[in-house]
Each structure stands twice: as structure tokens, then as C-alpha cells.
A and B are shown apart, each in its own frame.
Chain A
Amino acid sequence: MKHIKTLNKANLKKTATTGGCGECQASCQSACKTSCTVANQKCEK
């Protein structure tokens, strides 16, 4: 493709079927305690 560059593999939909184990960190426990940011969390799998 000459007119676009895709930065990632875009596998979000796939993770909906394989995810949900609930073992990862509660988002509020990370650093903020006043907001909610989830995209910087790590998957435990």
C-alpha cells in the first residue's frame, strides 16, 4: 500500500473470544486512582 501505513496487527476482535480471564491488574490499582486508563495494562496470559 502506497498511501497508508498500519501501525499494528489489529487483533482486538480476536481477544474478545480468547480473553476475559480476569487475572490482570484492576485498572485503578496502577498509578492513577482518579481516572481510568486501561490501554496501558498488561495481559497476564
Chain B
Amino acid sequence: MIHKYKLNGYNIVLDVHSGAIHIVDDTFYEILDVITDEKGNLKYTDLNECENEVLKHFEGKVSKEDILEVFGEVKELIENDVLYSKDDYEQYANMMVASPIKAMCLHVAHDCNLRCKYCFASTGDFGKGRKLLDAETGKKAIDFLLKYSKGRRNLELDFFGGEPLMNFDVVKEVVEYARSKEKEYNKVFRFTMTTNGVLLDDEKIEYLNKEMSNIVLSLDGRKEINDQIRPAVNGKGSYDIIVPKYQKLVKQRGVNEGDYDQYYVRGTFTKHNLDFSKDVMHLNELGFDQISVEPVVSPEYEDYAITEKELPRIFEEYEKLAVDMINLKKQGKGFNFFHFMIDLEQGPCAIKRLRGCGCGNEYVAVTPDGDVYPCHQFVGMEDWKMGSVNDLSVDFEKKDYFAKSNVYGKEDCKNCWAKFYCSGGCNANSLQYAGDVLKSHKISCELEKKRLECAIMIKAAMAEEE
């Protein structure tokens, strides 16, 4: 299967199953038009028949000699298994089954000091009342992870909320407890935090930069955009409070090296700021070079919701952002935009790419009560509760259900060209908005595909520079 498209003056061909990406000239591209069916597969099993069709198509337009030269290159790629390469991954489906639980989203606070209008957690309490995690339950969450991670060495724990800094002392106790177990259990804990930054101060900044391998700092971009949708409890905007704190944290974090220098300033865009590339650029102008700005996911009835109607405008904006980023990169002023980051050489293995997001299988969320859910987006949906850290229980039937939600378990995904890059999408979105974790959320899919096209095009543009 191939996926081919034209963007920003480039003719781009992705050979899906080998992962090869080719930039081709117009004649080559037109040949592919002739010999590719609507699913992206080669129309002909016999290459001689294929050649005859191509010659017929170009007769009177391009000389036979020239066409045979280009077609020779098409044939060479096919023979080298980097064009229309076969899908022989289904044989690995047995590797995409139950995994040890090695990643956890720990909800240290079901409470928040902001009132973001699009919050999926109902302003922080997930519809279940405001509550903080106590240290004892936090330590049990670590015990749970130590038990069910089995042979996995690298364990991940994201301090999440609500707003996790509202329960900072417990964060510190949980980290200390986990670190005290690393040697005995031969594990490495990688802590991360997702915070709105309001409560950051010098002490917390120093601590987080020392202990968190990644910090996700929420901020939506321009002041008027951020403050309209991310007000504090008193209704006032949060921008002026948090921006200087983020700048300080990132500046100090810059001296870290290796695993502990990662951070993202992460925003959400909605129907109200479809010109979100300006927000990305604004974040960069504030001095941030690791940026993620993502589309809101919500029911269609919300006034800020992104629906199919908004897609063409968003596609245009992603393309604009990609071109702007290329221009900056060429001036040596490039920055990372999370959804345009793509590793064409040393990225994750095919098994990882096909395994799915991992929710409910290798990744779980734990509430302040110690309840275990498949992920943070499922928290509060009683039917999906799948265990408790209090008695170290796991509903293995549910876990197996999620283990099967890999790319080859999803009809919509297994024949999609983007399957190796999105891993089947977000299961929680699929359940909430498509009615089934094994179905796909079309709007998310369309956005992901556009972002991938842009990401690959950026690679093509930068390769031209080399």
C-alpha cells in the first residue's frame, strides 16, 4: 500500500509497510496515478501489463524512451520492496497482546484552581467530588506498579489531576517511596507531571526540574485566547500568573542534560482559535522551543467544539504552520512542535507502532480513592473501573479487552496508511465519540493524517537543504 500526496510543491510517496518515503518528480507521480487503485495498492500483478498501461497513458505526450526510463525506477523500487510492499505484519498480532502494566497516570488531586471551559475532568473533580490523594494510597499505587510491571524495567508515572501541585507534599512522598524501591526491584521510575503552573514557586521549580523527566506545562497561546478559556476560579485569566513561572522553569531546566531536560508547553485549540498557528508562534516568541498545541476533543454540541465543518480551515492552518516552521528552521531558529515530530530512521519498532496506545493494558490511571481505570479519560465512568490499588486487584477480562485493541483488531485501522504513525488513535475518544474502542473517531483520524502529511513534508523540505 502507498499513500501519495502533493504539498508545498513536493510530490510525496509513503510506502506504508516498509516505511520508505520517496520524493518523486511529476512524471513518476503521474505513473503512480495510472497504476495505483483507490486503496493505494498496485492495480496489476504483472509488471509487463503495468508497463503497457503506462505507455498507453503517456502515448503522444511523452516519448516512449523517457517513460521507460522513469518506469524503470518504479520497477526498481517495487523489486526492492520499498514501493507497494506487502502487509506481512498480521503474523505479529500475537505479540500485540497482554503486556505488563508499566505506566500510570496518578491523579493526585481531583481538584483544580482553574476553570478551563473545555475540561474533560469537569473542572478537576471528574464529576465525583473534590478530593486529594493521600500518601498511603499513593504508595499503594507504587506497589501496584511494582507488582504488575513484572519484567519491565522502565516504569512511568505521570502526576496528573485536576491540578497536581495542589497536593505537592504527597507528590514528594510518592517520589521518595518509589525511589527507595528502585534498587530492590531493579526498576527505573520516570516521573512526569502535567500542571497548569499556577502554584509553581522557586522551591517547586527546583524540585520538579530535579525529579521529573518531562513536565507538561499547560498554556493555550496568546493572552486573549488563553484567558478566555482558561480562567481562574475568580474568573480572571491565568496567562499573567503562569507565563513568568514557565519561563523561569524552562530556563533553569535548560541546564539539565539527557533524560531530564524534556518539557512541553502544551495548549489546546478550539473552534474559537482556528488560527492556532499564531498561538504556536506566540509560545515560541515567549522563549519556548518544545511546543504542543492540540485540537480540543469534545461533544459536538459545545460552542467551542471542532466538527467536520472546521476541518478544511484546520488543514489550511496546519499547512501554514508547517511552512512557517520550515522558514524558521532554515534560519536556524527551529523549534519542536509535538505533532510534527517524526523519526523516520530510529523511531519505535513496528510492534510498538501497531500495539495501540496501551490504555488499560500497559497503562492505567489511578484516582485519589485508589480506583484503577484504563486511562485518565475513562476516570469517572464507573463501568470501566478495572481494579484498585488498595487490594492490588486487576480485572483481567477488561485488561484483555484493551490488549486486543491494537491496529489489527480495528477494521478501520488495518488498511489505513497512517496506522504506523498513530497506532490506532485514542481508545477513550473512540469509545466516547464513535461508541466503541475498536472503532475510530473520524475527526481525530483526519487531523492526525493531515499532521503526518505536514510532518513528512517538513522532512522533505529540510532534506533538500542538506
Assuming A28-B358, A39-B347, is B23 touching A19 (CB within 8 A)? no
Residues of chain B within 8 A (CB-CB) of A24 are 154, 348, 352
Assuming A7-B459, A8-B19, is B344 touching A38 (CB within 8 A)? no
Smallest Cβ-Cβ distance to A45: which chain B residue? B349
Residues of chain B within 8 A (CB-CB) of A38 are 348, 352-353, 420-423
Inter-chain contact B452/A39, CB cutoff 8 Å: yes
Inter-chain contact B351/A29, CB cutoff 8 Å: no
A25 to B189: give the CA distance in the assembly, Å: 11
Smallest Cβ-Cβ distance to B364: which chain A residue? A26
Inter-chain contact B23/A15, CB cutoff 8 Å: no
Task: Determine if B195 is an interface residue (Cβ-Cβ < 8 Å).
Answer: no
- Which of B92-100, B200-208, B250-258, B394-402 sits within the interface? B92-100
- Which of B49-57, B228-236, B313-321, B335-343 sits within the interface? B335-343
Inter-chain contact A27/B102, CB cutoff 8 Å: no
Residues of chain A within 8 A (CB-CB) of B268 are 34
Inter-chain contact B88/A25, CB cutoff 8 Å: no
Inter-chain contact A12/B17, CB cutoff 8 Å: yes
Interface of chain B, main secondary structure: mixed
Q: For this complex, into which size category does the number of interface residues on chain A fall? A: 35 or more
Inter-chain contact A7/B463, CB cutoff 8 Å: yes
Task: Determine if B448 is an interface residue (Cβ-Cβ < 8 Å).
Answer: yes
Smallest Cβ-Cβ distance to A43: which chain B residue? B348
For chain B, residues 318 to 370, give those with C-beta under 8 angstroms from any C-beta of chain A.
338-339, 341-353, 356-359, 362-363
Inter-chain contact A20/B358, CB cutoff 8 Å: no
For chain A, residues 1 to 17, give those with C-beta under 8 angstroms from any C-beta of chain B.
1-13, 15-16
Query: What mask results when residues 70 to 96 of chain B are scored 1 for a CB within 8 Å of chain A, else 0?
Result: 100100110001100100110010010
Interface of chain A, main secondary structure: loop
Task: Determine if B36 is an interface residue (Cβ-Cβ < 8 Å).
Answer: no
Inter-chain contact B297/A34, CB cutoff 8 Å: yes
Residues of chain A within 8 A (CB-CB) of B297 are 34-35
Residues of chain B within 8 A (CB-CB) of A7 are 21-23, 344, 459-460, 463
Smallest Cβ-Cβ distance to A41: which chain B residue? B348
Residues of chain B within 8 A (CB-CB) of A11 are 19, 345
Smallest Cβ-Cβ distance to B151: which chain A residue? A22
Inter-chain contact B358/A27, CB cutoff 8 Å: yes
Inter-chain contact A31/B338, CB cutoff 8 Å: yes
Task: Determine if B47 is an interface residue (Cβ-Cβ < 8 Å).
Answer: no
Assuming A39-B343, A41-B347, is B88 touching A13 (CB within 8 A)? yes
A22 to B19: give the CA distance in the assembly, Å: 21
Inter-chain contact B20/A6, CB cutoff 8 Å: yes
Smallest Cβ-Cβ distance to A44: which chain B residue? B154
A42 to B214: give the CA distance in the assembly, Å: 14
A38 to B345: give the CA distance in the assembly, Å: 14
A21 to B190: give the CA distance in the assembly, Å: 17
Task: Determine if B27 is an interface residue (Cβ-Cβ < 8 Å).
Answer: yes
Inter-chain contact A33/B22, CB cutoff 8 Å: no
Inter-chain contact A37/B348, CB cutoff 8 Å: no
For chain B, residues 1 to 57, give those with C-beta under 8 angstroms from any C-beta of chain A.
13, 15, 17-25, 27-28
Chain A residues in contact with chain B, CB under 8 A?
1-13, 15-16, 18-20, 22-44
Chain B residues in contact with chain A, CB under 8 A?
13, 15, 17-25, 27-28, 69-70, 73, 76-77, 81-82, 85, 88-89, 92, 95, 99-100, 102-103, 105, 120, 152-154, 156, 158, 160, 190, 192, 194, 214, 216, 264, 266, 268, 292, 294-295, 297, 338-339, 341-353, 356-359, 362-363, 375-377, 420-426, 429, 444, 447-448, 451-452, 455, 459-460, 463
6 contacts between A and B (CB under 8 A): A3-B24, A18-B349, A28-B105, A36-B357, A36-B423, A38-B352
